[in-house]
Amino acid sequence: MKTYKKHTVYKLNAEGTSTGESRYKWITSDNMPNQSIPISVGNTDYNRIILEIDSGEAEFVETDDTDYPNYAEKRRRAYGSWGEQLDMMYHGTWEDHVASVKAANPKE
């Protein structure tokens, strides 16, 4: 049986987690190593793949290709701008803010 991979990339919120809404999708297969097929009803290759799946000749394997941010990127987003950090330093809250960001986004 043929196996097609359905690649999905999801939108991320400010915290770097998936919103559940996809940005785009495409299909690849071991039979087509250098080719990806956009998921589009008007695409003849996509329609052929759907017919193969409906007839039982092939199957889909879902793949999440979202580039999730690592802890360093999450920290960078949470620290805020330089201006915000300088303001926190002026008001004496910066050290507490940095400690809370590190606690919320530990090293992996």
Sheet holding 32-38, edge to edge: 32-38, 18-29, 2-12, 58-64
Q: Is the pLDDT of residue 108 over 90?
A: no
Q: Is the pLDDT of residue 13 over 80?
A: yes
Per-residue tokens: 69: 């941010």
Q: Is the pLDDT of residue 16 over 90?
A: no
3-class secondary-structure state, position 2: strand
Q: Is the pLDDT of residue 54 over 80?
A: yes
**What is the mean predicted confidence (pLDDT) over 53-62?**
93
* Proportion of the chain above pLDDT 90, given as a percent: 63
